[in-house]
Structures are given as C-alpha cells and as structure tokens.
Chains A and B, each alone.
Chain A
Amino acid sequence: MNEERTNAASEATDGYFLRADGITKIYADGTVALRQATLEIRPREILGLLGENGAGKTTLTKILSGLLPPTKGRVVSPRGPVRFSSPREALDFGIGMVHQHFALVGTFTAAENVALSHERPFSFVQLGKTKEQLERLMAESGLRVPLDVPVSQLAVGEQQRVEILKVLSRDVDLLILDEPTSVLTPLEVDELFALLRRLRDKGTSIILITHKLKEVRSVTDRIVVLRQGELVGDVRTKETSAEQLAQLMVGRALDDASRTVELSDEDLPTRREARRADDGRVVLHVEDLVVRSDTGEIVVDHVSFDVHANEILGIAGVEGNGQSELVEALTGLRKAVSGTATINGTDILGVDPRAIYQLGVAHIPEDRWELGLVLPFTLAENAILGIHRWDEFRGPLSFLRWGRINRHVRGLIDRFEIQATGPSAPARSLSGGNQQKLIVGRELAKDPAIIVASQPTRGLDIGAAKYIRDLLSEMRDNGRAILLVSADLDEALARADRIAIMYEGKFMTIRTPDELDRETIGLLMGGVTTKEVA
C-alpha cells in the first residue's frame, strides 16, 4: 500500500516528493539558523545532509517533519503547499523522523512502544494488531527486533531499529534519520545502511543527517551540504569527492556578500601569536586516557597529549566525538577507565572536583546552565561557586562573609563588564553573554595554572565572544596553560597554538594551525585520513 501511494505520487509529478522552498528560520533569540534554503526531496532516493554543528541540518529537518514552523518560505508537495503544526500531522502526511535521542519508554516492549506511538486520545491500545503489523513489516524490511522484551534491555542498535519500525509502521514515504550512526557499532552501521538501501528500493525517500564523510559517501545518492544556515552544495554522490565535500563543509565562505555585511573584521576571531609557545613547561600531561560515555561506549580512546604553560591547545572536531567526556574526565566529573592524567605532576584521575580545583584548575563548562551556574541563585552566590570555602569568603563556624563576597562580585562586575543590576540580581536574569562573563570571571579569579574552556563562546553575541577569546589569549600570555575545546573551527584556528582534531574518541592529529589547511581539517573532522595528513 505504501508502495502504491509513492509510485502514484512520483508518476504524477515532475519527480519530487517534497520541496522546501526558500526556507528561512530565525529563532526567537535572533539566531539565523537557515537562510533561503531550497531543497527537493525525490522519491526512491537517499539524501545525505552534511554539515558542521550549527549548520542548520537539524533545523531544516525539524521544519520538514513539523516540529518547527519556518519563519519564511514554505514546504510544497506536488499536491500543493503543506503546513504541519505537529509531528503527528507530518506523520499522517507520510514524513517520519528518527531522532538522535530515542523517544522510547524503557519498561515497555518494542510492540508496546509502537502501539503507544499509534495511540490517539481515548483510543484503545491494540497490541495484538500492532504486533501483527510489526511482524509483517519486519518480514518485508528484514529489520528484526525482539517484540516482547522491554526496550531498556535491548542494545542501542536494536533500540534504534525499534524507533525506525515505529516510524515505518505509520506508512511513511519519507524517513529522516538524525545522526543515526553515532551510537552504532561498525557492524550495526552496515546493517542499517543495507536496510536503508532496501527501503529506498521499495520506494521510500530517506534523509540521512551526518557529519561523517565516509558514511555519507557510501550510502547516499545525493548530498546536500549546509554551512552556517546556507545551502552551499547539492551534488550527486557519484560525481563528488571527499575533498570537495570537506571544502564545502568547512571552507571559508566562497563569495558571500550577504555574510560580509554582518561580519565585520571585529567578529572574525583574530589570530594572536603566542609569546613563546614551545619552551613552556608541561602543565597538563595526559597519556593513554580511556573514558566511557553514559551509555558505556568508549568515547575517549587512548588519547595522549600535553598542554604547556603559555600555550593554548585547541581541540577541534564535530561535537559528540568525545570532547565533552574528555573534559569531564579531566575535571573530576567523570571516571576514566584507564590511562593517566597529571597536573604539574599530581595525578588527577579519580580525584574529586574540589581537589582538582585546588591544583589550580579553572573549568569553563560547556553547558553554562546545567553545570556552570545555579540559575535561581544570585550573582553573588554564583560568583563563589567552587571557591566558597576559601578563607577569604568563609569565616569561623563556616559563616560566609557576605560583605567581602559582595565586594568581590562588584569587582567582577566592573572588571568583566557584566551588565547586571548588582550582586543580588538572580543569575537567571542575565543575558547569555553576561552569564558566561560571570563564569569566566569566577574561574579566572581562581588564579589558575590551567584553564579548561569548553565551548566558551557558544551562543554568545559577537562582542562577548571576542571579549572572552581575548581574555583567554591574555591568560595564555600571562603564563597559563589553556585547553580550548571548540566546535567553532574559526575560533580554534585563530586562537590555538596547536590544534588537535578529535574524531570518534581519537586525536586524528596535533599540529600548529599553520600546518593545516581547511580542506585537511575538514577531512580529518569527517574521519578521513589521507596519506599527506597521516
């Protein structure tokens, strides 16, 4: 039935199933996620959607699957414009999405999870019928999962298959998969791709979101590349090369008149030369570090590196390749499996965060709301998080010296130009940039030997981002060691003295920025090692 519908649709039109027509998406905070993206989705085709973090891949698919309304532009089907106000409407139309984070009830079986997704208010759950349908579907697609086991007991790959079955059971014509391979083993990836090819041959269109060059080239028919919200390439997979894709993905804008208007010289991270990068002593020494993720996979895979005083070591790479876990292991927030890490010779693995801070570590965390701040707390309360036990702020009987604390906070407000009504303003009331300045100010006040900065400028406006980058450079010049983890390649290239590219838990290379060109970086970030690079 699925097939008939698709065939009918494809015959009736000039070859597309859905078209995104000049889609622009501007989020409430002013971020432009997509600019005038026009894209055709054709039947019987696997389309790869390639791009760095924040390129707009997810936004685009969320608009197609009804999770987000576009700010401008429309989605057109051969039967006319379509507008979805919910994922359910999109599903009814025949578009289903499998998200990176699964939406499964762990204690339910696969059959129950699928039945749940079919449920409407006041309808009966028809478990028997669902099972029958699933058996049929599994036989057709060759996608097998145990139906009567609680999904929490299934492997991640199997859980993903349940998600795919959930969507397929709704007779979709377009299946969207968001980074489906990031949680899979190589064997599972092969199985998934075989399945996708079978589905395509049966007439389903598939959109595969990924940042892995190898995979996108092996399975797709056509590749669309997004960069900073713009559609910069639409190529047939057969006619392209990894180099071309890497260039499209990370290359500096080819001829963007539109972007130069908004970006003055100010915004582009400016290069700052180190004073003496190589004769600084080793502050952080990491050897053979192995770390597991929450779900138990090895996400930091025998990584070794040093960070010297007077040096910024940048870790670039697409997010989710182990950077967060690496930082967490180094700051005491996550247990390492094996390996060593020392700061000025003292072992820091398995030591709790407080002891690590006492060795002179400042940590600017990736997630400033979840980790960096207690949002309902005031500015003053947040400004002493982690240093609240210092003698400067804590008197006898553990009494806090609010007078001194408030003076300290006013100092931070002045020095770091934090826009706030005063020390007693709730941290929640500050803008993102000012919240980040507060965190940076607090961490720098620790007079650290090493600063671990994770995505320190994410989501900040241009001025605040530059300010924080300059501060980091200044700290470097003052003899600090800095580990800068950034998904922003421009930032890493401009500020780091050496750059490591991280891919699937490993460092692909550690070089000075001058030794790397963008194309090479793009390839390394996508997991491709060429002879010249290796």
Chain B
Amino acid sequence: MSDRTQPLSSRLLRGAHRTLTGLHPALESLLAGVVGLLVGAVLMYIWGYDPWRAYIALFRGAYGGSYEWASSIARGTPLVLTALTFSICLRAGMFNIGAEGQMYMGAIASVMIALFALPAGLHTIVGLVFAALAGAAWSLVPAFLKLTRGVHEVISTIMFNWIGRWFALYLAIYVLVDPARAEKTLSIPVGARFPILVRGTDLSYSVFLAVAVALVIYFVLWHTAVGYEVRAAGLNPTAARYGGIRNKRTMFLSFILGGMAAGLAGAAIVMGLPPTYAIFGGGAMPQLTNIGFDGMAVAMVGRNHPIGIILAALFFGGLNAGGRVMQFYGSNPVPLEMVRVVMGAIVLTMSIPELFRLFPAIKKQGERFVGFWRRAAQRSPRRSA
C-alpha cells in the first residue's frame, strides 16, 4: 500500500489535504484573508477596476497613518464584542446567531440613560449596565426556549434578531426620539459619553471596554472552573455530565455572557460614536446594522479565541474603514460593496479546511467519479470497434 501504487491525482489530493489540515489555525486564518483579497481582486478585474490601485487605496485608508489606524480600530471595537458573543456560545457548544438582536437591545437600552441625569462617571457605568442587562435578557429567551421546549437556538436567535431590530426601531422612532430632530433618538448626555481617544477621529475609550471584555472572557474560559465547565460541556456534553457538570447551567451562563457582550457592543457604538451619540431611527439604524453578523465572521477568522478576535476585528475594521477611501479614490472608484465581497470570500475560504477534514468522504466520491469515467472510456472504443 505504498504511495507510489496510487494514481497521481489521488497523491496530489492527499498532499493538499495534509497541507491544509495540518496548518496552524492562525496560518489558516491568514491564508483565508489572502485568498479573500485575491477573489476580490479577480472580481474587480472582471468589472474593469484596477485591483492593485484599489487595494493600495484600501490599505492606505485602513492603516496608512494614525488617523486611519484610529478609524480602523474604532470600526473594529464593536465587532470584538459581537464576535465574543458568538465565540463564547460556540465554546459552550451552541450557535448563538443572535448577537445582532442582542446588540440592538443593548444600544436602545443605553439610549435610555438620556432620560435621567446622574454624575458623569456613574452615568456611563449605568448605561453599560443597562446595555449588558438588555443584551443578556434578549439572549436568555432563546436559551430558555431551548431548555424547556427544545427549540433550536439557531432558529430562535435568528427570529429574535428581527424582533429585536424592529422593537429597537420602534423605540427609536416613537419613544426615545429627539424632539428637535425626528430622524434620530435622544443623544447620550455629554457626561455619559466615552471620551474621544484620538482627537479628530471616531476612536473613543470604548476600545478599552472591548479589549477588557475580551481579556475577562479569556480568563473566565481558560482560567476559572466555571469556564472550564463551559468548554468541557461544549466539546463533549456527555463527558461533562459524567464529570458532574450541569450542562444546562453552562448553557445559560454562556448565553448570559454572550448577550452581555453583544449588549455592550450596542452601547459602545451609541455611547462612543461621534458626532451625535444617538441612533438614527430615520435611516433604519445604519450604524448598528450588521455589526452582529459581521461579528460572526470576525469570530471565525479569530478562531473563537479572544486574542485572535481582537486581531481579526482590527482587520475587518480596517476593511470597513479603508473601503470608504477606496470608493472615493480618484479615477478608480471601487464600490464599497466590494469590501463585503472580500469579507464573504474570506468567510468561505475559512470553511475550506473544515471541508478538507471531511476528506475521506470527498475522496471516496471522487474515486467513484473517476472510476465511472474510466470505465466509460474503456467501454466506448470497444463499442465503436
């Protein structure tokens, strides 16, 4: 059964398989990023743009200077938090697709602090607590439905995204609306806002919130008994139960932590995003839309590890920030949507190694296919003769 007796195609496939499945997770992510950019380049070329100049514009716009870095980081900040939502729940063995809805609830809850006055620092903290609680509450409903009625969390969280979106929009338009400007909600009071970190940019102190939450979650997952239980239950629920771990508890805990992170993402946007520090109900909440879903992509590229997520969010934030520059770049204005194409291609590429782990099955199908054609080819000359 040496390698040499097998056909070249099979050996090549196996080589590719070994290479791809043996890669370090970080390298896999890096490779996916490169492939995503290449796919984007090919598409730009087909549509008549110059990919080279477009990417130069994009990366200059993302990481070309301190202003650019600041706006990339600002855009990555909420993504860190929503990515953590997805990752914690995945570590606990569940797909929480609900970061989007939980984030809306967090954002709208943080706007509520505009209704009352408090001392400056305390006001911020109350806003964050509101947001975290709202996010957690929104994620608890699907968790509860799963426990009591067996409703699959993917279904319920997706549904709750829509309920959350329209509920938040309703509150933004009818309840928390700014009497002076009907297109937006009340603004967060000056004392409760995250101060700007780099003057003249969007980057506020909310970035420290995101990094702090990421670190806390890292320590909880890898350095506490509670996090140990969450990871054990996620990797092997049967063994966890055998080990005296109460799986329902770990499930609830992961949803609560995840919901809190998503809620905080909403707060980070509203309380830390100049110039208005409010939600635009009129434009159907453009600053919030897709932050939860993009977080899932960030979580994937960040390999569901808090540190990886921070790096991946920096990259995705950069794509978003640089994309805006790219679309205004002189003679070669590439539409902003191209950035989303690149993101999509990255996510798809990320799943390829997973695909290759299913290699034995694919190989079998492939061999069957090859065998079929070979037999057909052998048959046909005889028939003609």
A interface residues, Cβ below 8 angstroms from B? 331, 333, 352-354, 357, 363, 365, 370-377, 381, 384-386, 388-389, 393-394, 397-400, 402
Contacts and interface: CB of A to CB of B under 8 A. Distances in A.
Most buried by B among A374, A376, A388, A389: A374
A75 to B, nearest CB: 21
B228 A371 contact: no
A388 B242 contact: no
B240 interface: yes
A333 B241 contact: yes
Contacts of A365: 242
Contacts of A333: 241-242
B239 A373 contact: yes
Given A370-B236, A374-B235, A376-B235, A400 B228 contact: yes
Contact of A377 (B226, B235, B245): B235
Contacts of B232: 374, 377, 381, 385
B225 A398 contact: yes
A374 B235 CA distance: 7
A389 B232 CA distance: 13
Interface string B226-259: 1011011001101111111110000000000000
Given A353-B241, A374-B232, 18 more contacts: A331-B242, A353-B243, A353-B244, A365-B242, A370-B239, A371-B238, A372-B239, A372-B242, A373-B239, A385-B240, A385-B242, A386-B242, A397-B224, A398-B224, A398-B226, A399-B219, A399-B224, A399-B225
25 contacts: A354-B246, A357-B244, A370-B238, A371-B238, A372-B239, A372-B242, A373-B236, A374-B232, A374-B236, A375-B235, A376-B235, A377-B231, A381-B228, A385-B232, A385-B239, A385-B242, A386-B242, A388-B243, A393-B225, A398-B224, A398-B225, A398-B226, A400-B223, A400-B224, A400-B225
Nearest to A384: B228
Given A399-B224, A400-B228, A352 B236 contact: no
Q: Chain B interface residue count: which class?
A: 20 to 34
Contacts of A352: 244, 246
A388 B225 contact: yes
Interface in B26-55: none
Nearest to B236: A374
A368 B174 CA distance: 58
A63 B73 CA distance: 61
The 7 closest A-B pairs by CB, nearest first: A354-B244, A385-B243, A386-B243, A398-B224, A374-B236, A353-B244, A371-B242
A397 B219 CA distance: 11
A3 B240 CA distance: 54
A522 B224 CA distance: 51
Nearest to A363: B242
Nearest to A331: B242
A386 B236 CA distance: 13
B251 to A, nearest CB: 15
Nearest to A121: B368
Interface in B189-232: 219, 223-226, 228-229, 231-232
Contacts of A363: 242
Interface in B236-291: 236, 238-246
A371 B239 contact: yes
A2 B238 CA distance: 47
Contacts of B236: 370, 373-375
Contacts of B238: 370-371
A466 to B, nearest CB: 26
A387 B232 CA distance: 13
B244 A386 contact: yes
Contacts of B243: 353, 385-386, 388
B223 to A, nearest CB: 6
A389 B245 CA distance: 10
Contacts of A397: 224
A354 B243 CA distance: 7
B375 to A, nearest CB: 14
A402 B244 contact: no
A394 B226 CA distance: 10
B27 to A, nearest CB: 19
A357 B243 CA distance: 9
Contacts of A357: 244
Contacts of A331: 242
A358 to B, nearest CB: 9
Contacts of B242: 331, 333, 353, 363, 365, 371-372, 385-386
A180 to B, nearest CB: 28
Nearest to A371: B242
A352 B223 CA distance: 25
A331 B244 CA distance: 10
Most buried by A among B225, B235, B245: B225
A386 B241 CA distance: 9
A218 B61 CA distance: 84
A364 to B, nearest CB: 11
B228 A388 contact: yes
Nearest to B368: A121
A399 B223 CA distance: 6
Nearest to A373: B239
Contacts of A384: 228
Contact of A389 (B219, B225, B235, B241): B225
Nearest to B232: A374
A245 B190 CA distance: 90
A363 B238 CA distance: 14
A371 B244 CA distance: 11
Contacts of B231: 377
A371 B238 CA distance: 6
A377 to B, nearest CB: 7
Contacts of B223: 399-400, 402
Contacts of A373: 236, 239
A41 B239 CA distance: 44
B219 to A, nearest CB: 8
Nearest to A442: B243
Nearest to A390: B225
Nearest to A397: B224
A393 B229 CA distance: 14
B249 to A, nearest CB: 11
Contacts of A389: 225, 244
Nearest to A368: B239
B323 to A, nearest CB: 37
Nearest to A381: B228
Nearest to A354: B244
Most buried by A among B223, B228, B229, B239: B239
Contacts of A398: 224-226
Contact of B239 (A374, A393, A394, A400): A374
Nearest to B372: A121
A357 B246 CA distance: 14
B24 to A, nearest CB: 15
Contacts of B245: 354
A376 B91 CA distance: 12
B239 A388 contact: no
A79 to B, nearest CB: 22
A305 to B, nearest CB: 23
Most buried by A among B225, B231, B242: B242
A388 B229 contact: yes
Contacts of B240: 374, 385
A371 B237 CA distance: 9
Nearest to B220: A398
A406 to B, nearest CB: 13
Contacts of B235: 374-377
Contacts of B225: 388-389, 393-394, 398-400
A150 B175 CA distance: 51
B143 to A, nearest CB: 20
Nearest to B219: A399
Contacts of B226: 398
Contacts of B219: 399
Contacts of A385: 232, 239-240, 242-243
Contacts of A381: 228, 232
